[in-house]
Chain A
Amino acid sequence: MINLIWLLLLVTGIGYAGLHGRIEIVTQSAISAAEGAVALSFKLIGVMCLWLGIMKIAELAGIVKFISYFLSPFIGLIFPSVPKNHPAMGAIIMTLSANMLGLGNAVTPLGIKAMQALQQLNPKKDTASDAMCTLLALCTAGFTLIPGTMIAIRSAAGSINPTAIVGATLMVSIMATVSVILADRICRFLHDVRIRR
């Protein structure tokens, strides 16, 4: 699936540019995107070190365990395949908490850590497990209590009420989160039925 999508994006892009006599754009945009991706990875190194370092302190101090104690009964319902005391549960909870608090760049490092912990539980290493799909669904729905970046942009654009969107964002986030959890469950069920046949 992802192979086909990737190919289609690339091939239609090149085909369209070629047909409209703008083939030089392909070379430029491909090279600048490749360079941009490397620059982004380098930026990620710093952010990853920072948040994984903080996370390590939180783990050793028992803060992760403390937060997990209160949240794992709820989060456990969404992730039935993850044992409650497995490190993956703590990592998932920290990811979702960071996402909710709007800690922006902390979410990616914590999410990756959660994925690595889930990979230990995964029997098929090249295929996404049920719990991984659920975590991805929750992260792409991007549940945030306070959309800090957006408030800042609205302020900068001269809004008289930059936070007017906070309520709307929360409602839409809840809607999207509930929908993806349901869709994830339905897809998993259909997937399992197909495999068993």
Chain B
Amino acid sequence: MDFTELCELLSLWSIPMVLFIIPVIGYLRKVKVYEAFVDGGKEGFYTAIRIMPYLVAMMVAINVFRASGALDICVEQLSPILTLLGVSPELVPLAIMRPLSGTGALGLTTELLNTHGPDSMLGLIASTVLGSTDTTFYILTVYFGAVGISKFRYSLGVGLLGDIIGFLGSIYICNQLFK
């Protein structure tokens, strides 16, 4: 079995294994597994409902910004600056989209993989960016929304810094690894 198959197997099995192991250990340790599951799940409903207005607010603002074409102007304006840093112009939209929208970034990456090929340098960089960063705005909205926090302090800045490092780091590492 090669490394590719091993990784695919692991990511295929990780969730089923957790869903298998935890209830079995629970049962062996005399936990009333069914009742405990239901009891734990109860909170889920209220939390998800509580997040709703926060998600609506954030997704409406981001979507209007994106659909109006204002995002494309941002990309155009930032493109020369990022190109100076060694970023290919094809990757600039992904850099801007990544922290704002998970599905948007996924769409852009799939497009890059299809036009340039998944094993091209651009394809490898885009894959690494998507694998090693997360949707900062979504995480902030959902996590802080769930507990009703409105003052984020420096969280957004730190999250965006992580995205920048992830993006520039992907370009640097890929250029070193896949010459």
Contacts and interface: CB of A to CB of B under 8 A. Distances in A.
A9 B159 CA distance: 18
> Chain B's interface: helix, strand, loop or mixed, by majority?
helix
B85 interface: no
A56 B64 contact: no
Contacts of B76: none
Contact of A52 (B31, B41, B110): B41
Given A13-B61, A13-B64, A128-B153, A176 B18 contact: no
Given A63-B25, A128-B155, A37 B44 contact: no
Nearest to B4: A163
Contacts of B127: 147, 150, 153-154, 165, 169
Contacts of B67: 13, 17, 25-26, 28-29
**For the side of the interface on A, what is the size category?**
35 or more
Contacts of A60: 26, 29, 31, 36
B62 A41 contact: no
B162 A140 contact: yes
B157 to A, nearest CB: 7
A135 B38 CA distance: 27
A111 B143 contact: yes
Contact of A54 (B12, B18, B47, B73): B18
Contacts of B169: 171-172, 175-176
Nearest to A116: B147
B68 A22 contact: yes
Interface in B59-89: 59-70, 73
Interface residues of B, number: 98
A14 B48 CA distance: 29
A146 to B, nearest CB: 5
Given A144-B132, A172-B170, A183-B161, A10 B155 contact: no
Given A14-B68, A16-B73, A25-B67, A52 B43 contact: yes
A152 B110 CA distance: 11
Contacts of A183: 157-158, 161-162
Given A136-B155, A164-B119, A55 B40 contact: yes
B131 A17 contact: no
Given A10-B65, A136-B159, A187-B158, A41 B146 contact: no
12 contacts: A20-B68, A30-B60, A38-B56, A40-B55, A45-B48, A52-B43, A116-B47, A133-B155, A142-B133, A149-B131, A153-B110, A169-B128
Given A13-B70, A176-B162, 12 more contacts: A12-B65, A16-B69, A17-B67, A45-B49, A60-B31, A128-B155, A135-B143, A152-B11, A161-B4, A166-B7, A169-B131, A179-B165
- Ranked nearest first, the 8 interchain pairs of A and B with the lowest CB-CB distance are A56-B40, A148-B11, A48-B44, A147-B131, A142-B134, A33-B63, A49-B41, A159-B118
Interface of B: 3-4, 7-8, 10-12, 14-15, 18-19, 22-23, 25-26, 29, 31, 33, 36-45, 47-49, 51-52, 55-70, 73, 106, 109-110, 113-114, 117-119, 123-124, 127-128, 130-134, 136, 139-140, 142-144, 146-159, 161-163, 165-166, 169-170, 173-174, 177-178
